[in-house]
A and B are shown apart, each in its own frame.
Chain A
Amino acid sequence: MKYILKKISTLIITLFLVTIFTFTAFQVIPGDSVSSTLGMDASPEAIQALRHERGLDDPLVIRYGRWLGGVLKGDFGESTQYNMPVWNLLSTRLTVTIWLAAISIVLIFLFSFPIGILSAKKEDGFFDRLMVFLTQTFMAIPPFFLGMILTLVFGVCLKWFIPGNYVSFQEDKGKFFAYLIYPAIAMAIPKIAMTVKFLRSSIRRQMHFEYVRTAKSKGNSKRGILVKHVLKNACIPVITFLGMIIADVLAGSIIIEQVFNLPGMGRLLVVAIANRDYAVVQAVVLYIATIVVVINLLVDILYRVIDPRISKEGGAR
């Protein structure tokens, strides 16, 4: 418990530092939202007026304080491009991105564990060899390319969905998911390949430990050995890896959203950067940072749940 509190306090400090960096970084970059709103030919007076109106002529510290105060209350400021609160803009996009990531993550878990276990069950058997080949292949294919192929096969040829189309969550939940499943698959496949490869080698390594022999001497079946004894041990290194994968999926759907023309966070970020809509950019960066840090915390906690040696040995390194 003490450990978790300590971890959460470092998490808060980390996020606080992230807010400072993101905020100052975008203040230092030349050009601001005023020039993109008014255009290149605006008079200096007009620019000055709008800067004042948007509070951009205040000192940096004051502007940061104002922004942070808002963030803590859930107010991320006003988008200069859409002229609406950033939060309203984010909330609809978040639905898309988080659902997309969630489906991907479910797919990763659903496929990588059984495939990894089956692969390791019969070392160098037909299934194992096939999976080694497939994981090698799919790891090398970037998601956007997979996305294009999926669009071609299921959208253009089979006409299971209309390429480039999108149905929002509010309109029709069924259709919403039907459109999300393809980008989710495109994102998941390379990650599944990596996880299978990692899990398989971790299980194989574990199979040579002596406790496996003991488990066998008790009369366990091969499956019993794998599921009851090896899997938990083999998962310890895999957790870190999965943590990185999950963070990556949650934060990294930018390209796939472009390919499938989905109105998610990734699309929002690309457009916002182009238009110097810094309030939006800051919010998105903060979202990504929070995801990464929180997932890391969960990984650390999960570690201790699975491996009693870490928590019970106290601070021993």
Chain B
Amino acid sequence: MLLEVKNLTIGFVDTKPTQQVVNQISFHINKGEILGIVGESGSGKSMTALSIMGLQKDSARITSGEINLEGKNLLGMSEKERRAYLGKEIAMVFQEPMTSLNPVMKIGDQVSEMLKLHTNLSKQERLEKTYQSFEEVGLSNPKELYDKYPFELSGGMRQRVMIAMAMICKPKVLIADEPTTALDVSVQAQILELLKKMNEEYGVSIILISHDLGVIRTMCKQVIVMAEGNIVEQGQVEDILYHPKQEYTIKLLEAIPSIHRNRMQKQHNKENEKESADKQTVNVQELSNHANGIGNVSTDKMLTVSNLSVSYYKNGRIHRGERKEIVQEASFYINTGEVVGIVGESGSGKSTLAKAIVGLLSTYEGHVQCEEARPQMVFQDPYSSLNQAKRIEWILEEPLKIQGGFKKKERKQLVRERLQEVGLSEEIGKRYIHQLSGGQRQRVCIAAALMLQSRFVVLDEAVSALDVTIQRQILTLLMNLKRKHNLTYLFISHDMNVIHEICDRVLVMHNGRIVEQGETEDVFASPKAAYTKKLLEAVL
């Protein structure tokens, strides 16, 4: 037993009574093992990981329990004693590699700082060891890289740097908190592979925290399922993922979009599945199929895009900078009542394309013809895309005021109706955005998009930032709304699973070009473009 967590209880002391976020949990990890902790946000999984490092927020207090590393209780140590373990014996890789690195410090210095803190190596030795660590995590040109700053690297490279940093002192335990969540699919697989390599080559035990059951399945043998601060289930991955005993685990498994589920549950007996079909989680695929079956999809074109190109000049000066094509000659159409997906990695130009379509870009070449005068857009991050200083009802009312022609009473009535329609109570209208949960915020954004009765909505990574079960609810809501109002969606996502589930047709974008388009089922079953194949392979 390398690391043991015993009866750990963590509570927030600034609330009265003290709110328990982690409740009497116990688990352990052996040498060379990879242990997965899975759960939704708020389940206490990150809090548990952070408390092993002593990094929990000041307002969170460990009220009881032990964290033993090779028999020594880390919680019984003074802060100074414990610091000697951080980075040396236990290291951590975080979710967001951009914000987790110091933006104004050279990459190399950040990595070699570990050696400065924990070893007596000379400056030259530290330098060489840093170069070596870069190579170990698959970063070429270590000398050049040493002097770079985080903003000059891609997300995947930054996460490699984080891993190099965490591994340079050859720790016994590596805690990886959602290490791939912020990365593109194809990069995700590489980073997981790298973590596995570190585990195999150096025998480092890894605690892998993720909300993604696919990640857990490929990486771990042992898994812990957490919900509301409790461990609801723990054991072998096969047992838990294919024969879940607890209701929560079953619910979590169901929330996974279809590709996963198909793969994972095909091997599983069908009866169990039927039994577990929960009333709350409506199967979206059925819904969307149903909606299409009714015949809402017509051949009337809602949107026709021909030869759309968007480019900009680096340095912002026409004569100096090089021209950079973001979107190159995109042509496609969307029928009324259809859901068309655009899939691609970050930087593929999918968001730029969307902005051009809804009129948020003033300069583009080509032709965009949209039947809907006011196409609406729902963004990924509802928090920063809504005005934080205004009440929800004000935000929803604003488009009506701008358009004019409504009496105050009518406006209020419409706001109430929309709120109700997206499943929010009237009382929510009085609140501010920061007082809502992520799911509620996204519901507000959807309500805002529907205020002016638009028939065409562009959803830009609208569910990407949400937990799986919330994601499910929002997708269900979108499908219900589509059926009710005969809406047309352009659904942008990097998540192949979600696209597969709700889209009638799909466009695959890569480096600004549409490399493939067709019926969703066809594209997923027999992808033609090499890039599409690569994307599908990368899906775990």
Interface residues of A (CB under 8 A from B): 209-211, 213-221, 224, 228-229, 232-233, 236, 306-309, 312-317
Contact A308 to B104, CB < 8 A, known contacts A213-B94, A218-B113: yes
Other-chain residue from B53, B54, B100 in contact with A210 (beta carbon distance below 8 A):
B100
Question: What separation, in Å, do the CA atoms of A213 and B92 have in the docked complex?
Answer: 10
161-216 of chain B: CB within 8 A of chain A: 162, 165
B104/A217 in contact, CB under 8 A: no
Known contacts: A217-B91, A219-B85. The answer to whether A314 contacts B314 by CB under 8 A is yes
Q: How far is the CB of B373 from chain A (nearest CB, A)?
A: 32
In chain B, what residue has the closest Cβ to A314? B315
| A229 lies within 8 A of B152 (CB) | no
Tell me the complex Cα distance, A314–B162, Å: 26
Query: Are B315 and A219 in contact, CB atoms less than 8 angstroms apart?
Result: no
Which residue of B88, B100, B101, B149 contacts A308 across the interface (Cβ within 8 Å)? B149
Q: Is the Cβ of B94 less than 8 Å from the Cβ of A219?
A: no
Q: Are A218 and B100 interface neighbours, CB within 8 A?
A: no
How far, in angstroms, from A232 to B114 measured CA to CA in the complex? 19
- How near does chain B come to A110, taking the closest CB pair, in angstroms? 24
Point out residues on B near A: beta carbons under 8 Å. Answer: 53-55, 80, 83-88, 91-92, 94, 96, 99-105, 113-114, 117-118, 149, 151-152, 162, 165, 314-317, 320-321
**Distance between Cα atoms of A232 and B315 in the complex (Å):** 27
- A215→B102 contact, CB < 8 A: yes
A219 to B104 Cα, complex, angstroms: 20
- On whether the beta carbons of A232 and B83 are closer than 8 Å, the reply is no
Whole-angstrom distance between the Cβ of A185 and the nearest chain B Cβ = 33
Contact B86–A216 (Cβ < 8 Å): yes
Contacting residues, chain B, for A317 (C-beta < 8 A): 316
Residues of A near B114 (CB, < 8 A) are: 218-219
Please, which residues of chain A bring their CB within 8 A of the CB of B103? 211, 233, 307, 309
Query: Quick one: closest B residue to A208, CB to CB?
Result: B57
Give the distance to chain A from B349, nearest Cβ to Cβ, in Å: 18
Known contacts A210-B94, A213-B94; decide if A316 and B315 are in contact (CB<8 Å).
Answer: yes
Query: Are A233 and B104 neighbours in the complex by a CB distance under 8 Å?
Result: yes
Which B residues lie within 8 Å of A309 (CB)?
A: 103-104, 149, 151
Q: Are A306 and B117 in contact (CB under 8 A)?
A: no
In contact, A228 and B113 (Cβ under 8 angstroms): yes
Complex: chain B residue closest to A220, CB-CB: B117
CB distance from B123 to the nearest CB of A (A): 16
A223 vs chain B, min Cβ distance (A): 11
**Cα–Cα distance between A228 and B105 once the two chains are bound (Å):** 9
Q: Is the CB of A217 within 8 A of B55?
A: yes
* Residues from chain B with Cβ under 8 Å of A219 in the complex: 83-88, 114, 117-118
Q: Contact at A210–B96, with CB atoms within 8 Å?
A: yes
User: Within the assembled complex, what's the spacing in Å between the Cα atoms of A134 and B382?
Assistant: 41
* Least distance between B271 CB and chain A CB atoms (Å): 46
CA distance A134 to B91 in the complex (A): 41
Question: In whole angstroms, how far apart are the Cα atoms of A216 and B118 in the complex?
Answer: 13
Q: How distant is the Cα of A309 from the Cα of B84 in the complex, in angstroms?
A: 33
Distance in Å from the Cβ of B296 to the closest Cβ of chain A? 44
11 pairs, CB–CB < 8 Å, chain A vs chain B: A214-B100, A214-B101, A217-B55, A217-B86, A217-B92, A219-B85, A219-B86, A220-B117, A308-B151, A312-B152, A315-B320
Indicate if the CB atoms of B84 and A315 lie closer than 8 Å: no
Q: How far is the CA of A317 from the CA of B114 in the complex (A)?
A: 34
The answer on a CB contact under 8 Å between B165 and A218 is: yes
B93 smallest CB distance to A (angstroms): 9
CB-based closest 5 A-B pairs: A219-B86, A315-B315, A219-B87, A218-B87, A210-B99
A residues within 8 A CB of B91?
A: 217-218
Contact of A229 among B53, B85, B102 (CB under 8 A): B102
Return chain A residues, CB-CB under 8 Å to B83: 219-221
- Inter-chain CA distance A218–B314, complex, in Å, is 37
In the complex with contacts A220-B83, A232-B105, A314-B314, A211-B321 CB distance below 8 A:
no
- Tell me, in angstroms, the Cα distance from A243 to B317 when the chains sit together: 30
Partner of A213, one of B88, B100, B113, B320: B100
- Please give 12 more A-B residue pairs, beta carbons under 8 A apart, in addition to A217-B87, A218-B91, A218-B165: A211-B99, A211-B100, A213-B100, A214-B92, A214-B100, A214-B102, A220-B83, A224-B117, A232-B104, A233-B104, A312-B151, A315-B315
In the complex, the chain B residue whose C-beta lies closest to that of A307 is B104
Tell me, in angstroms, the Cα distance from A288 to B8 when the chains sit together: 64
**Cβ–Cβ < 8 Å partners of B54 in chain A:** 216
The docked-state distance in angstroms from the alpha carbon of A314 to that of B92 is 34
**B55 and A216 form a contact (CB under 8 A):** yes
Is B53 in contact with A217, judged by CB distance below 8 angstroms?
Answer: yes
- A211, B315: Cβ atoms under 8 Å? no
Take A315-B316, A315-B317 as given contacts and tell me if A209 and B99 are in contact as well, using a CB distance cutoff of 8 Å. Answer: yes
**Bound form: Cα–Cα A70–B100 in Å:** 57
CB-defined contacts of B113 to chain A, threshold 8 Å: 218, 220, 228
Residues of A contacting B315 in the complex (Cβ-Cβ under 8 angstroms): 314-316
Residues of B close to A306: CB separation below 8 A: 104
Residues on B with C-beta less than 8 A from A215 are: 102
In angstroms, Cα B312 to Cα A315, docked, is 13
Closest Cβ of chain B to A231, distance in Å, is: 10
- Distance of A217 Cα from B91 Cα, bound (Å): 7
A210 to B182, CA, bound (A): 14
- A233: chain B residues at CB < 8 Å are 102-104
Q: Note all chain A residues with C-beta closer than 8 A to B102.
A: 211, 214-215, 229, 233
| A220 to B55 CA separation, bound complex (whole angstroms) | 12
Give the CA-CA distance A314 to B316 in the complex, in Å.
Answer: 10
Chain B residue with the shortest CB-CB distance to A306: B104
- Complex Cα–Cα for A314 and B152 (A): 12
**Please, which residues of chain B bring their CB within 8 A of the CB of A228?**
113
Complex: A218 Cα to B86 Cα, angstroms: 5
Q: In the assembled complex, which residues on chain A have CB atoms less than 8 Å from the CB atom of B101?
A: 211, 214
Q: Which of A211, A215, A221, A309 has the most CB of B within 10 A?
A: A211
Q: List, in ascending order, chain B residues with CB within 8 A of A229's CB.
A: 102, 105
From A213, A219, A315, residue with most partner B Cβ within 10 Å: A219
Nearest B residue to A313, CB-CB: B151
Chain B residues positioned under 8 Å from A211 (CB to CB): 99-103
Name the B residues within 8 Å of A210 (CB-CB).
94, 96, 99-100
Taking each of A211, A213, A218, A220, which has the highest tally of chain B beta carbons within 10 Å of its own beta carbon?
Answer: A218
